[in-house]
Amino acid sequence: MRLLITGGSGFIGSHLCRTLLAQGNTVICVDNFITGDRDNIKDLIDNPSFVLIEHDISEPLKISEKLDWILHFASPASPKDYLKHPIKTLKVGTLGTHNCLGISRLHNARFFLASTSEVYGDPAISPQPEEYWGNVNPVGVRSCYDEAKRAAEALTSAYRREHNIDTKIVRIFNTYGPSMRLDDGRVVSNFIYQALTGKNLTIYGKGDQTRSFCYIDDLVEGILKFLEVDYPGPLNLGTEFEFTILELAKQVIEVTGSTSRATFLPLPEDDPKQRRPDLSKAKKLLTWNPRIGIKEGLERTIPYFRKKLGSS
């Protein structure tokens, strides 16, 4: 197949590029490198089946080659990034999604939207099933990301209904692993970076808010399985291993062997108290279940951070 992946130099996008290339596909990576990392794809540049287009997908893009899939992953995804680029985040979620759907319609290609658990906001129920409409502050500091993804889902659904485009929507829950930026501001990368550099681990609030963290290999497997089934979504992908941020900090300190301690700061505005997916649909439709627990995932991730720190 020939696939176009927006945000292909990002954390999840680069893993997808590499896996799809290994399966014998042609991959066109579109990225403007606002938050993407060229190092993530440097081993792919010389692959004749890999094409890099440096472009902001919020602006129109013409592709002459026939496409089978458009996978839209472009967006700042960590609070640090989307709070720094709120308008660009809104544009890539709205204008970027609209442009990608236009390319999909032109090529009669299938369309895959990478949405997020953030569409559930600060959930009033847990775990969150796909039928839950969420609890989102539309004018809060996080709304640039939350509402951009909600609008992207609405655009995708409208194109499916009006233009009969074959679309899929995945809602991705917290994911971690190699190829994360050291400074991306997400809690796993923050903790690993701080532990390896001897800094105290910054915990917001009391650290009793819970998350469920999915290792990147499990997520990529779920995404590829989702591409193969006849179901539009939305579909949750993540893990049900739920624990507190304070427990995560202890795990990172243990696996890194760090002498760092936890330090506590005020809770950010609209920070969700808990986040855990209901995976009933994914397990049934995909015969998929995340297998890598947090300790093993950290053991796979930390060497990447050590290497990056050693070369920086």
Nearest to 137 by CA among 154, 153, 124, 155: 124
Instruction: Indicate which residue of 145, 159, 176, 193 is catalytic.
Output: 145
Q: Check: CB of residue 293 under 8 Å from CB of residue 241.
A: yes
**Which tokens go with 272?**
């969700």
Q: Check: CB of residue 155 under 8 Å from CB of residue 93.
A: no
Nearest to 137 by CA among 146, 128, 129: 146
Q: Check: CB of residue 275 under 8 Å from CB of residue 171.
A: no
Within the chain, residue ranges assigned H as helices are 11-22, 79-84, 86-107, 143-163, 187-196, 216-228, 245-256, 280-286, 294-311
Q: Strand pairing partners for 135?
A: 121
Within 10 angstroms of residue 176's Cβ, the number of other Cβ atoms is 23
Tokens 């990002």, located at residue: 10
Q: Quick check: is 145 catalytic?
A: yes
Nearest to 16 by CA among 56, 67, 70: 70
**Which tokens go with 55?**
């472009």
Burial class of residue 59, CB neighbours in 10 A (0-12, 13-18, 19+): exposed
Residues annotated as part of the active site: 145
